[in-house]
Amino acid sequence: MFKRFYPDRYVLSAYVIDYKDLKKCGIKAVIFDIDNTLVRHSAPADEKALALFESLRGMDLKFLFLSNNNEARVAMFNEKVGAPYVHHAGKPAQKGYLKALEILELNPAEVVFVGDQLFTDIWGAKKAGMKTILVKPIHKKEEFQIVLKRILERIVLYFYLRKESAKNI
């Protein structure tokens, strides 16, 4: 029942992912959620984020931002980055993910999605056929509706982590 929400990988942060390894495995682009995945809610791209994107460019990995937020917010984050983006993406609906793939000119097997929410980021990317990496939220302070979703996410993550630990026995 919960498997549709399970990420392919679950890591501490977008900043600890081995992007070189992803490239070796055939990944040509990374689609990122922004808020609480790369920076705190409403924050601009910081030095850590800018260094990550410079590194991805050096590896010749494409990247794109996919956000349910409005264009002003996404453009503000993207100001120093200069990457393509999709705002008002409507996650978890597939429309925004498919638009991102069209912009990147890639198919789902060539792309990995990195986000902090199971019921929007991960579920939507899985429905669109992408590999997924769930990261822990950067900051605990969130909007009320997200706090409620986090309670349900903990239940799903409990079963996901139990399944993953059973694999390692």
Alpha helices in 10-143 (DSSP H): 19-24, 47-58, 71-78, 94-104, 123-127
Residue 93 pLDDT > 80: yes
Are the C-beta atoms of residues 96 and 8 closer than 8 Å to each other?
no
CATH number at residue 14: 3.40.50.1000
The pLDDT value recorded for residue 73 is 97
Number of domains in the chain: 1
Q: What is the pLDDT of residues 53-82, one digit of tens each?
A: 999 999 999 999 999 999 999 999 999 999
Q: Is 131 helix (H, G, I), strand (E, B) or coil?
A: strand
Q: What is the pLDDT of residues 38-60, one digit of tens each?
A: 999 899 999 999 999 999 999 99
Q: What is the pLDDT of residues 96-130, one digit of tens each?
A: 999 999 999 999 999 999 999 999 999 999 999 99
State what percent of residues in the chain have pLDDT above 70. 90
Angle, CA 145 vertex, CA 140 and CA 149 arms, to 5°: 75
Q: What is the pTM of this model?
A: 0.89
Sheet with 29-32, side-by-side order of all strands:
9-11, 131-135, 111-115, 29-32, 62-66, 85-86
Residue 1 binned pLDDT confidence (cut-offs 50, 70, 90): low
Range of the domain at 142: 3-167
Sequence-distant (6+) residues with CB within 8 A of 56 are 19, 30, 62, 63
DSSP 79: T
Mean pLDDT for 81-88 is 98
